[in-house]
Amino acid sequence: MSASEAMPVPAARPVPSSRLPGTRPWATLGGVLVLVVMASLAIGTVSVPPLAILGSLWEALGLGEASQRLEPMQRAVLLSVRLPRVVLGVMVGAVLATTGAALQALFRNPLVEPGLLGTSSGAALGAVLAIVLDVTLGAHLGGLRMLMVPGTAFCGALGATLLAQRLGMGGGRTDTPRMLLAGVAVSSGAFAGMGLLTYAATDAQLRSITFWSLGSLGGASWETVGAATVPLLLTLGLLLREARALNLMLLGEREAWHLGVDVERLKRRLILSAALGVGAAVAFTGMIGFVGLLVPALLRMALGPDHRRLLAASALCGASLLLAADLLSRTLAAPSELPVGALTSVLGVPAFIALLARKGAA
């Protein structure tokens, strides 16, 4: 008998798991979202009793009478100011996080986010152009003037993304590393254009450009919610149905193609979906960073790489994160309001550095 056969082999030590307990964490993530929604509706300069919120919403829908009636000011703030803000924040946060999760799977890189494709910078360029040319263009739009900034921002996002995709084509197919480089180039060009337009802007326009470029949910109304609902919910539906294909893409493009995935069509669908969703989000709320980068990257470490769970979890967690950041932006410096995009960046930079350190250690 050899020495290796005689010596007992020690049992392998179990590797500690970083996954969330349980196989269905939806109750936890959903419960967190409900709590953040209720806090966002109740807390502010005008406080609203939490127990009266559901009754007031029930009564507003014509489904019954509220057991505890609010004062006229509280009711107006709840239904006309905070509720549309919360609805828009939920949709935008969900779309940004889900889009980030899909693009990270497409490029097989956990540090990819929608801004790397030029989508956010293209939307910013379109919005700044509309703000600077407001006097010139606004006179010809009449009642549609309020949609000028969101409309041009959306067109800028779509145009920048399509340009990056076109520049990323090589040999009749989309080369993902080349497309990322094209996205960086498009973003640089868009920011250069923004700099030239900012130089020509007036003082009032500069204040609008600064506040818009830092992101805010302060402009939410039922009109903006109605205009944003279709592209945002359509993007969520398009991305959630690609969960199986994204799981196969993690094996590699060649392996996914052998398993029945039309890789080129999948790339086009995901890139156009990202342009639709992120363009609509930036058009109505301005530039909000780090939500599409950190949420899916951290959830992937907690839940694993299965996109059947990861995409839906990213939607719930992204909505909660953006609403929590918006709540802080409204209350930290009340009655003033901090830009929510700046706040997410302040919170996101340390988390991003920690993520890089973890990846480097691994």
Per-position DSSP letters for 145-167, written without gaps between them = GGGHHHHHHHHHHHHHHHHHHHH
Instruction: Please state, in angstroms and rounded to a whole number, the distance separating the CA atoms of residues 210 and 247.
Output: 40
Query: Where would I find the beta strands (DSSP E) of the chain?
Result: 169-170, 173-174
Cβ pair 97, 295 in contact under 8 A: yes
Q: Is the pLDDT of residue 60 over 60?
A: yes
Query: pLDDT class for 322, splitting at 50, 70, 90?
Result: very high
What pLDDT is attached to residue 178?
Answer: 85
What pLDDT is attached to residue 360?
Answer: 59
Instruction: Respond yes or no on whether the N-terminal peptide bond of residue 335 is cis (omega within 30° of 0).
Output: yes
Average pLDDT of span 295-316: 90
Least confident of 105-114, 152-161, 236-245: 105-114
Cβ pair 302, 19 in contact under 8 A: yes
Q: Is the pLDDT of residue 41 over 70?
A: yes
Instruction: Please state, in angstroms and rounded to a whole number, the distance separating the CA atoms of residues 105 and 94.
Output: 17
Highest mean pLDDT: which of 25-29, 116-120, 201-205, 307-311?
Answer: 307-311
Tokens 């890089």 appear where? Answer: 356
Neighbours of 208 (CB within 10 A): 18
What pLDDT is attached to residue 181?
Answer: 87
Q: Is the pLDDT of residue 149 over 60?
A: yes
Tokens 């799977």 appear where? Answer: 105
What pLDDT is attached to residue 139?
Answer: 46
Joined together, the tokens standing for residue 344 give 């997410």
What pLDDT is attached to residue 15?
Answer: 37
Instruction: Respond yes or no on whether the N-terminal peptide bond of residue 339 is cis (omega within 30° of 0).
Output: no
Average pLDDT of span 222-226: 90
Average pLDDT of span 191-216: 84
What pLDDT is attached to residue 341?
Answer: 86
Q: Shortest CA distance to 245 belongs to which of 105, 99, 104, 97?
A: 105
pLDDT tens for each residue of 11-31 = 433 333 444 444 467 788 989
Least confident of 21-25, 79-83, 261-265, 317-321: 21-25
Instruction: Please state, in angstroms and rounded to a whole number, the distance separating the CA atoms of residues 202 and 236.
Output: 38
pLDDT top residue among 16 and 274: 274
Least confident of 69-73, 168-172, 272-276, 357-361: 357-361
DSSP letter at 80? I
Q: What is the pTM of this model?
A: 0.85
Average pLDDT of span 317-334: 91
Average pLDDT of span 305-312: 91
Query: pLDDT class for 361, splitting at 50, 70, 90?
Result: low
pLDDT tens for each residue of 94-138 = 999 999 999 988 888 887 887 888 888 888 888 888 888 875 454
Q: Phi/psi of residue 173, each to 5°?
A: -140, 160
Q: Give the whole-number percent of the chain exceeding pLDDT 70.
A: 85
CATH numeric code, 47-361: 1.10.3470.10
What pLDDT is attached to residue 32?
Answer: 93
Query: pLDDT class for 63, splitting at 50, 70, 90?
Result: low
- What's the mean per-residue pLDDT of the chain? 82
Query: pLDDT class for 347, splitting at 50, 70, 90?
Result: confident
Note the Cα 113 to chain centre separation in Å.
Answer: 9
What pLDDT is attached to residue 13?
Answer: 39
pLDDT tens for each residue of 126-145 = 888 888 887 545 444 544 55
Average pLDDT of span 294-315: 90
What pLDDT is attached to residue 52?
Answer: 79
Average pLDDT of span 298-326: 91
